[in-house]
């Protein structure tokens, strides 16, 4: 085990995969000479050269399309989109090409590519640069979407994504890049599509992913001191979605709250609420509750941005409301 930041874990994973497999290449804006807007690709151009680490023009549709073509011809491109918001420029390549080619050409040609990009708000980057559009991609069959919440998972899920033969969207998060955690040395590969119970509990299940998992764990630990045992399920993968782990947890606790950084309407929470009522209906003692961001273009002003995003206080309040609604007593 080595303690490192989420950023370092990503950087070392990319380095290890570049070294392990000559078909792995990196492509994106400012990832080479500038070493990436968030320094995820620091040192990699110097180490592997411009054939393997390619700077591109500011033309997302063009370089995502190039990566799709490269993948079809046997490479394993890892595309960096500077932020998730810029994926909108390339959405036709992602949704109509990367996601569909394998099925539409009768399974003759897999598209083993990775699109890695940070999402999320809270950095005062204003409305167009602070979105959580992962649900758009999680909606599309043919894509996989993973969302690590810890440095260890950043390594495990990124490694799995690069080695997967389908296009995989790796959702990073701006506010997680500097978080630290223990990362296993050597081979550490996740199975895509498996959620993790990151804290055991008996009274209520909080389901979250990415930054929200960190908040959920924080709240769960605080409530532990009050005699409330909260179980936290980290989804890790939005597609495929590990419905069984979520439902198994709720069957145990009988109460569920979903925390998501995204807007509420049509969000991950909606999908999970449906999943839980399908898989754990007879075990629910209260309706599933959702805690999500305010349905506004995220404000730039710091105080407004802060209240628009869900936080520990909002989650704690809803947890107490669910407990009260079921006459929970310690």
Partner 1 sequence: MSDVLMPRLSDTMEEGVLSLWLKHEGDAVRKGDALAEIETDKATMELEAYEDGVLEQVLVAEGTTVAIGGRLAVIGDGSGGSGSDGTGSAATPTVDPAQTEATPAPTSAETASTTAPSSPPTDVASARSATGQTSAPAAAPAASAGPVRTSPLARRIAKEHGLDLNQVTGTGPGGRIVRADVEAAVAAGGPGAPGAAQRAGTPASTTAPSTTVAAPVAKPQQDDEVVPLNAVRRITAERLTQSAAAPQFYLTALVEADRLLALRSEVNAGLAARAGEDAPVKVSVTDLLVRVCALVLRQHPEVNASWGGDAILRHRHVNVGVAVAMDDGLIVPVVHDADTLPLADIATRTRDLAERGRTGRLKPDEFSGGTFTISNLGMYGIDHFTAVVNPPEAAILAVGAGTQEAVVRDGQVVVRTIIKMTLTSDHRVLDGATAAAFLRDLKAALESPLSVLL
* One of 49, 74, 184, 287 touching partner 1 (CB under 8 A): 287
Distance CA 261, CA 269 (A): 10
Q: Which residues contact 167 (CB under 8 A, 6 or more apart)?
A: 68, 71, 94, 98, 99, 111, 112, 113, 114, 115, 142, 143, 144
Stretch that binds partner 1, among 25-33, 136-144, 169-177, 246-254 (CB under 8 A): 246-254
Please say which residue, 179 or 229, places its beta carbon nearer to partner 1.
229
Site for partner 1 in 300-319 (CB under 8 A): 307-311, 313-314, 317-318
Q: Show the tokens assigned to 251.
A: 């069957």
Distance CA 314, CA 310 (A): 6
Q: Is 327 in the site for partner 1 (CB under 8 A)?
A: yes
Residue 129 annotated to the active site = yes
Residue 66 CB neighbour total at 10 angstroms = 17
Distance CA 144, CA 131 (A): 19
Find where tokens 């890892």 sit: 78
Cβ atoms of 149 and 210 within 8 Å: the answer is yes
CB of 27 to partner 1, least distance (A): 37
Please say which residue, 140 or 288, places its beta carbon nearer to partner 1.
288
Please say which residue, 99 or 309, places its beta carbon nearer to partner 1.
309
Q: Is 128 in the site for partner 1 (CB under 8 A)?
A: no
Stretch that binds partner 1, among 138-146, 183-191, 213-221, 275-283 (CB under 8 A): 275-283
- Tell me the sheet residues that pair with 55: 28
Q: Show the tokens assigned to 284.
A: 């629910």
Residue 60 annotated to the active site = yes
Q: Show the tokens assigned to 147.
A: 């969302």
Site string for partner 1, 191-220 (x = CB under 8 A): -----------xx-----------------
* One of 293, 301, 302, 316 touching partner 1 (CB under 8 A): 293
Find where tokens 């640069």 sit: 129
Q: Is 321 in the site for partner 1 (CB under 8 A)?
A: yes
Say which of 17, 29, 35, 60 is annotated catalytic. 60
CB of 273 to partner 1, least distance (A): 9
- Tell me the sheet residues that pair with 208: 234
Residues marked active site are found at: 60, 129
Q: By the criterion CB under 8 A, which residues form the site for partner 1?
A: 202-203, 252-254, 263-265, 281-296, 307-311, 313-314, 317-318, 321, 324-329
């Amino acid at each position: 085990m080595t303690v490192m930041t989420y950023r370092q874990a990503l950087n070392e994973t990319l380095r290890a995969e570049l070294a392990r497999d000559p078909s792995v290449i990196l492509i994106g804006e400012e990832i080479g000479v500038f070493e990436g807007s968030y320094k995820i690709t620091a040192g990699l151009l110097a180490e592997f050269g411009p054939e393997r680490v390619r700077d591109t023009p500011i033309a997302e549709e063009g370089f995502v399309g190039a990566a799709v073509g490269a993948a079809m011809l046997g490479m394993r491109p890892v595309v960096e989109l500077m932020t998730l918001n810029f994926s909108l420029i390339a959405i036709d390549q992602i949704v109509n090409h990367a996601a569909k080619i394998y099925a539409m050409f009768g399974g003759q040609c897999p598209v083993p590519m990775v699109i890695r990009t940070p999402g999320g708000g809270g950095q005062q980057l204003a409305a167009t640069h602070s979105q959580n559009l992962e649900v758009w991609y999680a909606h599309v069959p043919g894509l996989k979407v993973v969302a690590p919440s810890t440095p260890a998972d950043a390594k495990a899920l990124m490694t799995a994504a690069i080695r997967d033969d389908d296009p995989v969207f790796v959702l990073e998060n701006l506010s997680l890049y500097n978080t630290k955690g223990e990362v296993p040395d050597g081979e550490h590969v996740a199975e895509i599509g498996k959620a993790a119970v990151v804290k055991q509990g008996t009274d209520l299940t909080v389901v979250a992913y990415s930054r929200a998992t960190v908040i959920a764990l924080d709240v769960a630990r605080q409530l532990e001191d009050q005699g409330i045992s909260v179980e936290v399920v980290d989804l890790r993968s939005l597609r495929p979605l590990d419905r069984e782990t979520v439902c198994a947890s709720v069957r145990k606790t009988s109460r569920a709250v979903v925390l998501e950084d995204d807007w509420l309407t049509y969000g991950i929470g909606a999908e999970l609420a449906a999943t839980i009522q399908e898989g754990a209906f007879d075990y629910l003692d209260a309706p599933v509750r959702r805690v999500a961001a305010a349905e506004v273009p995220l404000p730039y002003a710091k105080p407004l941005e802060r209240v628009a995003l869900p936080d520990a206080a909002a989650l704690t309040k809803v947890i107490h409301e669910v407990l009260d609604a079921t006459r929970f007593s310690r």
